[in-house]
Structure 1
Amino acid sequence: MCGCRSCLKSNQQRTHESPCRKHLGELSLMRGQFRQAVSDFEQALQTEPKSATARSGLGASLLALGHYQQAIRELEEALRIDPAYVNARLNLARALGAKGDLAGATAELETVLKQKPNNAEAQSGLGFVYFTQRRYDQALLHYQEAARLRPEDADVQTYLGTLLAMQGDFSGAIKAFEESLKLNPNNDVVRGYLARARAALAPKR
């Protein structure tokens, strides 16, 4: 985080010429203030049009607002500036997936894994794409890897449990659902999945 004075000013003290507009955009994005983030990043790009960081931040903000086509355009531009920008590529995959371009999303996620084989987000992203396409064996492989890399992700544990249950591995499914509930105890949907997996293992009378 930038430590200069402009970045420490309140929103009322923001100025168009601020050299820290990009950092203010990052702060707005982290706070969930997506419209403000769009404004910040657009102003940053007026003075730094070749900033991959600002371009990617703008794309991420537009993605959060549901403006998928605009997000794709900005994220593709960020990657033209810096092809190795992993976060931009992950967000591009999300935007493409949201638009229904699963082939495009898959290609971007596979590119990330070529750069960073241990990227948990790319692993879970591919798992979700394959799950959506009903390619369950491939989805399971990626969710298993994502769970290894990021065991603290409740959603990953839930998808892993679901896929294991679909394959008849109810013991594995129970373990994954229990882990998911440790991370998110108030998820009644997962609690129902766990109950069904336990029932499937119960002795038949």
Structure 2
Amino acid sequence: MLPYPRRPITAPIDRTDAAVRRGDDARVDVVVRTRKVGHFFPGGTVDAFEVWLELQATDEKGQVLFWSGKVEDDGKGPVEPGAHFYRSLQIDGHGNPINKRNAWATRSVVYVHLIPPGAADTAHFRLHISENAGDKITLHAKLNYRKFSWFNTHFSFAGVEAEKAAQGKPSAASNASATAATTTPDYDDRKWAFNGDTSSVSGNLKTIPDLPITVVAEDTKTLRVLPRTALPPQPKTVTTKEDWTRWNDYGIGLFLQGDLKAAAAAFEKITEADPQNPDGWTNIGRTLLQEGDTAGARKVLEKSLAINPQLGRTNYFYARALKEDGDYDGAAAHLQIVLAQFPRDRVVRNELGRVRFLQKRYADAVKEFERTLSIDPEDLQAHYNLMLCYNGLGDDAKANEHKARYLRFKADESAQAITGPYRQTHPEDNNERQAIHEHVSVALAPGKQLSQKPKPTAARLTLPAATPSGKD
């Protein structure tokens, strides 16, 4: 057992007969996991299209009790700004969002929210159970995809500068003067109206299209609703050997947010369900290592190595623990086990190079970092550490060469200052920027009912529900 308090949780919903009380709030966690995807999700031009998570709660009377990720205009308009998005939100030098495929003007990033390959994301929603809710609440989660954002589609087909649209048709000279004052390669301050003439747009369609929304994955789960006077529902978890990946992915999502205590508690469920599964012990060790508890990390990682001594990820994290404790030879030996299986892993190469540097074996360290650059010539850590290694070798010329490349490729941290005013005027995006955040429902009309209830589908998303007090 792990020596820290647990956040009360009821999960998985479909195995615990989960219940909520009228008048209470409950946190619902939705896990989106990537499977057999060899790249970040989504991939491609993540500033251009829309991928978001939608969660809707309805009762047996057809009342909509909660809706996050709603699309305006009956599914044809923009996505509500408080949705949980998977994208890169970039802004220009004046804090305008990059939303017209004008990536050259990007000067800072508000947030980048993508799921690494073989990993997961855990989204949090705050559900209020109204007094007039029925006896059952159906949660319907959907992962949605639209090829281009609503704004970009309307801009491309019918975008007209709002000021010019209001003034009529000014002269060519005044057009050029106004444009020069409001847009440069660094920013675009123009405001847009979408009432332009579409008769001359390229393509056969001479109107603004309603791009389809594709449901990538979806799932439904049901909650029982208790009277306000009932006793509070007690937290309950069910762990089965077959569900280990659900707990693992839930924990990975929490870990990537920095919620290390909750992540470790989720990983412990794997060890309870199947003590011979090395992944549970490995990921507990990973969280302890992140917290700085190297002794605790080594203890649980050794349990994983006893099950599978060749498991690459366990050897990697065990090597990191050994390195932190000053056992450089031991760390190098375990990293060599990983590299024998994955010789082109840049992260492991860099870690071994760092160990050699700490041993003051600068020439050996250089070899490892050069191998990293043979895989990725822009690897930031490799250039930084090569700068240090060549300083140790007394080669100032090469040290300065890698220093220049490091400064060339590193992020401009001062550019984050540009995001301040934007985040003040866009609270939903500022919320999404936070590592751990919750989503609430859009405003719903009293007694709003669905025209058609969502159809249950095969389970693809895990929905652990938390009480109000609460592989990679």
User: Shared fold by TM > 0.5?
Assistant: yes
Tell me the CA shift for residue 119 of structure 1: 2.2
Counterpart in 2 of 1:109? 335
Number of aligned positions between the proteins:
185
The runs of 5 or more residues in structure 1 that have no matched partner are 189-205
> Are 1:40 and 2:62 counterparts?
no
Counterpart in 1 of 2:73? none
Relative to its length, the structure with more helix (as a share) is 1
Tell me the CA shift for residue 185 of structure 1: 4.3
Residue deviations 1:54-107, cap 9 Å, x none? Answer: 221111011101111121122222223233321111111001111111121011
Tell me the CA shift for residue 11 of structure 1: 8.1
Pairwise mapping of residues 19-98 of structure 1 onto structure 2 (< 5 A)?
19=243, 20-98=246-324
Counterpart in 2 of 1:191? none
RMSD (CA atoms) = 2.7
Moved more, 166-175 or 35-44: 166-175
Distance 2:252 2:125 in 1: 14
Contact 2:362–2:390 (8 Å) recurs in 1? no
Distance 2:368 2:326 in 1: 20
**Paired-residue identity, %:** 25
Counterpart residue type for residue 299 of structure 2: R
Moved more, 9-18 or 39-48: 9-18
Contact 1:62–1:70 (8 Å) recurs in 2? yes
Tell me the CA shift for residue 50 of structure 1: 1.6
> Are 1:157 and 2:378 counterparts?
no
Counterpart residue type for residue 144 of structure 1: E
Counterpart residue type for residue 97 of structure 1: K
Tell me the CA shift for residue 31 of structure 1: 1.4
| TM-score (structure 1 length as normaliser) | 0.78
Pairing partner for 1:124 from 350, 355, 374: 350
Q: Label 1:57 to 1:164 Cα distance change in 2 as closer, same or farther (>3 A).
A: same
Counterpart in 2 of 1:16? 237
Counterpart in 1 of 2:404? 178
The runs of 5 or more residues in structure 2 that have no matched partner are 1-11, 15-28, 32-123, 127-222, 224-234, 415-472
Contact 1:181–1:187 (8 Å) recurs in 2? no
Tell me the CA shift for residue 115 of structure 1: 2.1
Distance 1:85 1:79 in 2: 7
Residue deviations 1:87-143, cap 9 Å, x none? Answer: 111111001111111121011012222222222222211211111111111111111
Tell me the CA shift for residue 158 of structure 1: 0.7
Contact 2:313–2:338 (8 Å) recurs in 1? no
Q: Label 1:101 to 1:79 Cα distance change in 2 as closer, same or farther (>3 A).
A: same
Q: Label 1:173 to 1:104 Cα distance change in 2 as closer, same or farther (>3 A).
A: same
| TM-score (structure 2 length as normaliser) | 0.36
Residue deviations 1:22-59, cap 9 Å, x none? Answer: 22111111111111111111122111212222221111
Moved more, 58-67 or 9-18: 9-18
Q: Label 1:85 to 1:43 Cα distance change in 2 as closer, same or farther (>3 A).
A: same
Tell me the CA shift for residue 167 of structure 1: 3.5
Distance 2:288 2:410 in 1: 28
Counterpart in 1 of 2:70? none
Distance 1:52 1:164 in 2: 40
Q: Label 1:15 to 1:88 Cα distance change in 2 as closer, same or farther (>3 A).
A: farther
Distance 1:150 1:72 in 2: 31
Distance 1:151 1:29 in 2: 29
Distance 2:257 2:380 in 1: 22
Relative to its length, the structure with more strand (as a share) is 2
Pairing partner for 1:135 from 361, 382, 388: 361
Q: Which is greater in Rg?
A: 2
Distance 1:57 1:26 in 2: 8
Contact 2:352–2:365 (8 Å) recurs in 1? yes
Contact 1:164–1:170 (8 Å) recurs in 2? yes
Residue deviations 1:149-200, cap 9 Å, x none? Answer: 2334312211112223444544433332222122224479xxxxxxxxxxxx
